[in-house]
Amino acid sequence: MKESICIIDDDLIYQLIIKKVVERTGEFDTYCFCKNGLEAFEKFKSPDYKLPDIILLDINMPQMDGWQFLDSLIAHRPDFYHNTFVYVVTSSIAHSDRDKAKSYKEVSGFLSKPLSVEKLKEIANKHRK
């Protein structure tokens, strides 16, 4: 069974690149994009909304950054991480960001941009249902 994925990132060029990467993996039957944490939170906050299997989350975004999105999602859907795996994907090289990601039990990993087809396949296969 193929996975679903959502990319939350404000960089439109990166969205085009990661869309190609997602398509080339052949691992995902559905994908969506959100341009910031607020857009994603508005979409995901309802307990009736089926969350994607995997979320690729940027940190630095306007309106609501990745950390604020994560805190808001946890507040509204505290058990979401049992079925949805969040990977922080960023160009940040700050150790503080890596440490902060590790402090969240809801975060499955911290990855540097850009993601390769192989890495995304590895992530999809790791969480295959």
| Closest by CA position to 85, among listed 29, 5, 24 | 5
**Both structure tokens of 88:** 């922080």
Q: What are the pLDDT digits (tens) for 9-66?
A: 999 999 999 999 999 999 999 999 999 999 999 999 998 999 999 999 999 999 999 9
Q: Is residue 58 within 8 Å of residue 11, measured between CB atoms? A: yes
**Both structure tokens of 82:** 């049992």
Q: Is residue 43 within 8 Å of residue 55, measured between CB atoms? A: no
pTM of the model: 0.94
**Both structure tokens of 26:** 């052949």
DSSP string, 71-84: HHHHHH-TTGGGT-
